[in-house]
Each structure stands twice: as structure tokens, then as C-alpha cells.
Amino acid sequence: MSLTVRRLGSADIGAMRDLNALYADAFEDHETYRRDTPDDAWLAHQLGRETIILLVAESEGAIIGGLTAYELPKLEAARREIYLYDLAVAETHRRRGVATALIAELQHIAADTGSWAVFVQADYVDPPAIALYTKLGVREEVLHFDLPPKPRG
């Protein structure tokens, strides 16, 4: 299998839609990762931002994996870290090093930008992700909370 990993830019709207479709299938979450939203102008703007990192793994012209990460500037020190938010590989291409190649490229970007760490969360119900991240990094036990926005008043 020939594999290419590349970073998406503002002209890659179609590829971003394909990546969202891959996420929808991999995460079984078609409501969140709908192909038809957001609009092209929104995607082009976000794809052009240096602090949003979108990588795709392609084989024979098709996107078979990808990741979304965000660069976060820190204020307690003059440094940044990168949060790996989404990572998925098409089911037919799993266990072939695609995720590892995507993460390796993200680590290179982290080094290039002077980031001190890449961090990622995994759900206890996802043993393959836990095994991958354990192989590549240091595991920390933390709790994650989603706090809803509250309108003023």
C-alpha cells in the first residue's frame, strides 16, 4: 500500500468534506460529522488557519485516514502545545500503520512550531486507541468534563 500524509490547506474543501465523512463512519456519528456543513467559506477560512492542523492519509487517491489537531498557545510560559482532537482510519485500512504515520507527521509539526507536547484523550471503551497512544507516549489518568455554555441573564 502506497501511503501519503499531507496537511490540508484553504483550497482543500472537498478533502475536508471527505475527512468529515470518514469521521462520521469511523465514529458512527453522522449527525456531528455531516458532509454538507459547514459551508465552503467557513471551511476555507478554518483550513487556512495555521493553528488548526488537518492531516490526511491518502492511498491511491482516496483519503483513508486523518486527524484534526489544534495548536494552543500557553500563557504560563512562552510555549505552545498541540491537542489531537480527532483521529480516524477507514476500517479497511486499520492496523497498517496509518494512524502511526499521521501522528508522526503531527509530532514533526509540533517540533517545527516549537510545541512542547502533543496531547490526546481516549475513551476507556476504545482499547485500540489506548494501545496506540500508550505505545507512542506517556499515559496520564485524568477526568474530562463537558461544561455547557450558559447565556447571561
Residue 10, C-alpha cell as written in the block: 484553504
> From the CB of residue 84, how many other CB atoms can be counted at a distance below 10 Å?
21
DSSP E strand boundaries for the chain: 4-7, 52-59, 62-73, 80-89, 115-120
The pLDDT tens digits of the residues spanning 36-60 come to 678 999 999 999 999 999 999 999 9
Residue corresponding to grid cell 493553528? 51
Write down the domain spans for the chain. 4-136
Residue 63: name the closest of 133, 129, 14 by CA. 14
DSSP state string for 121-132: ---TT-HHHHHH
Residue 5: name the closest of 107, 111, 126 by CA. 107
Residue 84: name the closest of 99, 62, 63, 64 by CA. 99
Q: What is the pLDDT of residue 35?
A: 64
CATH of 4-136, one of 3.40.630.30, 3.40.50.150, 1.10.645.10, 3.40.50.10420: 3.40.630.30
What is the arithmetic mean of pLDDT over 12-32? Answer: 93
The pLDDT confidence band at residue 32, using thresholds 50, 70 and 90, is: confident
List of residues 6+ apart from 12 with CB closer than 8 A: 47, 54
Nearest 10 degrees: Cα torsion 122, 126, 128, 133: 10
Instruction: Give residue 90's identity as a one-letter amino acid code.
Output: A
